[in-house]
């Protein structure tokens, strides 16, 4: 039987927007860049390049904040959903809801 390689763990949360910068006029890029990371660790987790000229800084920042919020909520949501699945599986007539919850959980866990 072939064993699956161990999945690499992500950098621990909480994440925050550590900095944002507008690309200067000499850059080949346009728009803003947001660097996301865990402030207690060196470096950053991700850089988000926002080069859509049709939206402004406020929407670009809101998109970066949404990504940070989703990442920070992920582990707690997965744990809570697993607990609710356990409870629902013991409830008669909840099979469809349990199936939907399991599908959502699999997506959240990258399966």
Q: Against a cut of 0.85, is the pTM above it?
A: no
Task: Name 37's bridge partners.
Answer: 16
Q: pLDDT for 36-54, tens place per residue?
A: 888 888 888 888 777 666 7
Instruction: Report the chain's mean pLDDT, rounded to a whole number.
Output: 82
The C-alpha atoms of residue 35 and residue 8 are separated, in whole angstroms, by 21
Q: Which segments in the chain show pLDDT lower than 50?
A: none
What is the greatest pairwise CA distance in the chain?
64
pLDDT at position 7 is 80
pLDDT at position 79 is 92
pLDDT at position 53 is 66
The C-alpha atoms of residue 71 and residue 48 are separated, in whole angstroms, by 14
pLDDT at position 10 is 84
The C-alpha atoms of residue 90 and residue 78 are separated, in whole angstroms, by 19
């Amino acid at each position: 039987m072939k064993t699956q390689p161990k999945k690499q763990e992500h950098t621990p949360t909480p994440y925050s927007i550590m900095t944002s910068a507008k690309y200067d006029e000499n850059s080949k890029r346009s728009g803003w860049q947001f660097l996301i990371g865990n402030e207690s660790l060196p470096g950053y987790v991700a850089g988000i390049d926002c080069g859509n000229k049709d939206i402004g800084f406020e929407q670009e920042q809101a998109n970066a904040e949404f990504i940070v919020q989703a990442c920070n909520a992920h582990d707690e949501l997965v744990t809570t959903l697993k607990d609710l699945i356990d409870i629902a599986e013991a409830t008669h007539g909840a099979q469809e809801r349990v199936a939907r919850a399991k599908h959502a959980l699999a997506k959240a866990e990258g399966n």
